[in-house]
Structure 1
Amino acid sequence: MMHLKKLLLLLCVLSVKGVFGVDGDEVKSVSVMEGDSVTLYTDITEIQTDQQILWMFGPKNISIAQIYKEKDVCNPCGSFKNRLKLDSQNGSLTITNINITDSGLYQLQIINSIGSSYKTFNVTVYGSQETSSRYIWIAAVVAVILFLVAVAVAATVKYCKRNQQTSQDIQEAEAIQINNINNHTKPDSEVTELPVSNGVNHPV
């Protein structure tokens, strides 16, 4: 019975980790096309005077926007410049003209006199049709170049092998020709020694 309770507790912990973030804040997935705008909602109807809204981005939780005491301040970093808008009534954050580098985790921290609550958005930005077409065109060009290189290498290897084979054939033909010449050459005739005349005439 005790082991069953432990197993059920473990399953509950695993299921909670699948829905909530590491710090216990809920993670909401948001998908958007490149070039569009996306709004991350705080689910607050109206910001109270004692509430502070803080938006952070990335693994280092860099502050990019906040509302405190009815004053909204945007601190865009990097490519966020002039593309962040804060709703002064509920603190929701809008990112305009979003691009692929804006993908990542956005954390919302709501601070009040009681404590803090968190909410995390996992934003995924997909490439537009134009960007996808550009990547496809680049991939096609690269594929053609690789194909041409492969063909050139194969032709070079074939040409070298053919030249090597031709050279070997020529050498073999020359060797056969020399061998044939040697086989058909007659040996030197023996020289017949003639008798040396001593000046005496022999009678006929």
Structure 2
Amino acid sequence: MGRGAQSLARVAVVVRAGAAPLWWLGLLAAGVGALLPGLTGRRIGLLSGAALLLVAAAVTALARRGRYTRLADGAVRAGRTDILQDRRVTLRARRRARRWVYPLAFLAAVGSSFALPGAGGLLLAGVGAGLWAKALWIGHRESERETLYWVRADRAAAAGAVGGAVTEFRTTGIAAGDAAPGGARRR
């Protein structure tokens, strides 16, 4: 069955794309927020922020795992005419699509420090850590099954790796592409 040429992006790379910006912006916002005394005081703000970091990381890492699993279990083999997108291109496209989200999240995290110093930044860092953990989970599945999961790049740019527009994953062998299982740079 011919599908025509489509550009495919790695699922783990799409998930991992937001992890580093959110982590570093969150830590920066927490550092700036820790300089402010806030309404509750630094100690309460940073302790509650540490709790929020752990909760946000766990919730983000576990969110939508069922949908990832269903799409992975029903994945079809990529066609010969499908084009595998480079890791760098996927990261750049994904971060460019969210270029306004990161500064707004940073400003919101710093702004929340007037009430609870550092907590908003640590929450943001927790979301980044959760995305990184989710990419590692996907990489573990890929290594276990010796299969890489891909999603149509146009649909991933609009809705993320498992958004409403995504109806299926494609698969290739473990050596395809320039990213290791989990979306990290291949060494």
TM-score grouping bracket, smaller chain normalisation: under 0.3
Which protein has greater RCO, CA pairs closer than 8 Å, 6+ apart? Answer: 2
Could you say which structure has the higher strand fraction? Answer: 1
Normalised by the length of structure 2, the TM-score is: 0.23
State the structure with more CA Rg: 1
